[in-house]
Structure 1
Amino acid sequence: MHDIRLIRENAEAFDAALARRGVDAVAASILEMDTRRRDIATRMQEVQARRNEASKAIGAAMGKGDKDTAEALKAEVAALKTELPALEEDERTQTALQNAALSAIPNLPADGVPEGEDEAGNVEVSRWGTPRDFAFTPKEHADIGPVLGLDFETGALIAGARFTFLRGGMARLHRALAQFMLDRQTGENGYLECIPPLLVKDEAVFGTGQLPKFSEDLFRTTDRRWLIPTAEVSLTNAVQGQILNDAQLPLRMTALTPCFRSEAGAAGRDTRGFIRQHQFEKVELVSITRPEDSEAEHERMTACAEGVLQALGLPYRKMLLCTGDMGFTARKTYDLEVWLPGQNAYREISSCSNCGDFQARRMNARYRPVEAKGTEFVHTLNGSGLAVGRTLVAVLENYQQEDGSVDVPEVLLPYMGGLTRLVPLAG
């Protein structure tokens, strides 16, 4: 959500920033709504003031025996009492229209975010690791995974497309990855472990920006709750409607949860394999910070996600997303793309975003600075630390052997119960 005062004070700059995201100018229409709302509010104040003034004057007129004046004033008060509810309803309607319009506008990009229409405009910031030199032609995970326990057929039989059934060592490796990530983010990086709700109300998904624009990407239950697309929704909304103390910041939270996405906007993409699923697990990172600290926190969060890839020995590159590829709520985003030798390509495995005060305004989440009067909106950040399924894919492809087995990365061995290699399941 945007601050209407920002649009009032510099409408041209607001539209220019939106234009960088490929969004048409909206300031004029927003300000027109705002003028109507303020005119109604002004009229309400005038009516209330005149009603109070006339009510007092009735008593004075009666005291003087001026019945004609008193009756005229009574008629005026009655008319004002009739007008006021209509004005209040008009004000509520106009406020709702203005808020709906504001809530449909994406966040403004930060300075330094490159301009571009899509992922082709993203800028590579750095690379880590050297892709392995295979003595054989590496295969994609969808080709090597089934005999190791990555069962696409049973998943589809039970639930349909984009669901997978994991068995044996494959399931153990998936669990090991998740636990390793969670232990690292809590033990080394200082994130507070949480177990949040997987079902949330409208207010929660509105607060983090999935509603109203992206409802088709979500799953909804019969009692009108939403299955979370990421733990970002639950974790960020933990401060919904609160006024935090300055000493509480930064607040860093993490959670390992199932995530559910309809993938309505990804029809036909990654239909083969384990890359894009309706149900998957992810270790999410969320930070709540002071405004002046959010840029540094963004770099820190991204480094926390990078550390997992480095510990696993997975080559990756860090990308700064352009204006046309950023998410709706983000003002700046880094994507981490892991090397997949079977695809001979880098693929997204983590996305870390600084949302500024955009989500905080939607959630009304504030803090009280130590040496300042009043309150300010916090800044919110979120990132993947990491997506477990995509990390499993990366391990399978990078650690595959010519005989079809897959070695377990060294850092995961303590989680594997003595299993050091995935081999074809018996039968």
Structure 2
Amino acid sequence: MTDLILGQTLSFSANPFDAGPEAARYDSHGGVVVENGIITDLGSADTLRARHPQAAVTDMGGHLITAGFVDAHAHYPQTPIIASWGKRLIDWLNSYTFPQEMRFADRVYADAVAGEYFDLLLANGTTSVCSYCTIHPESVDAYFTAAQARGMRALGGKTCMDRDTAPDGLRDTAQSAYDDSKMLLEKWHGQDRLSYVITPRFSPTSTPDQLTALGALWAEHPDCLMQTHLSEQLDEIEWVKSLYPDARDYLDTYEQFGLLGKGGLYGHAIHLEDREKARLLEVGASLIHCPTSNTFIGSGLFDMAGLMAAGQRVGLATDTGGGSSFSMLRTMAAAYEIGQLRGTPLHPAQLYWLATAGSAQSLLLGDKIGNLEIGMEADLIALNLTSTPGIAQRAAQANDVWESLFPTIMMGDDRAIAQVWVGGKPQN
């Protein structure tokens, strides 16, 4: 079966942080051809109709067809506690996160939350995600099972914590972290569209022995990614220094144990020192910006403009449930607001690239997802650019595609997601 999806289309030929808005490719009446879950042709609607006369046509009218959103950092077990009132990071973890994560030893509960989580993602136009699970292997099995059932591209791993800074009932050991992670990696990595990610939560909740074990596991499986947290809050950084007094900086608590490299995903990365920036750039690591989380927990203002100008690889993420929304539209809006507070506002082309192609590239999946390109996986969304009266009245005054799209970025929610395709299959 050949499917032809018509509408306005938006994709990228380059990074708009480097090339400007001209990096975007926009067609006011374009289309995407999909065969067996893969994009096989792109172009104007009239050209594609003539080229594929036997195709089954889905005409989305004035809706904007783009790649589905890619969420590069999330905590699916925190779904039930999203938007819980809190003070600072450590208080929030102890009050809400850790008690919630203890429940994931129960596979039935883990399955229920995982299913709800992926349904929420699809409702918000997110077709790919990279998530932390909990210390329990059951949480990983539930996560990948739910993603696999929906045909989604998903990345994730067992969160590892063995230091007594984590609560009783939510700690493993250096050996069990290695053994469980290896078992789960061998079970899930490369199955369908699933990828295992080695996952030390962050250095304050792992002993040097555990970080050494996970560094060894990553060295044994360099095709896997590794995810953790870095320099989210100033008091967190001081805590790290007290636990690792010999480390040169926060990043060194990973680097000295083999947990720095290309394929490393470092969430937040707000308060970086010069040496850390230089080493992250040198190895080609990925920094993951979590704007709604950073404002919700009061962490600070990520230096998107400075880091991108320096050549860092950056992705965008909700960080649910520290982040306060499942929507990458809301996440883009928060990234714009943080840019404004730093005096470096982001163009809509930059925001949308971050939520799609940029995040895909941060996960080293830029050749598979995050853009409309021939040969890429057909994870697509159709955006209704007039989904609410407030958005519609502003869009009616638009002079170009960016003025049409920006109101949806700033004010849109799940009502703007007119359709989602995962592997070319419509989801609602």
Give the TM-score range, shorter chain. Answer: under 0.3
TM-score computed with the length of structure 1 as normaliser: 0.22
Which entry has the higher C-alpha Rg, 1 or 2? 1
TM-score computed with the length of structure 2 as normaliser: 0.22
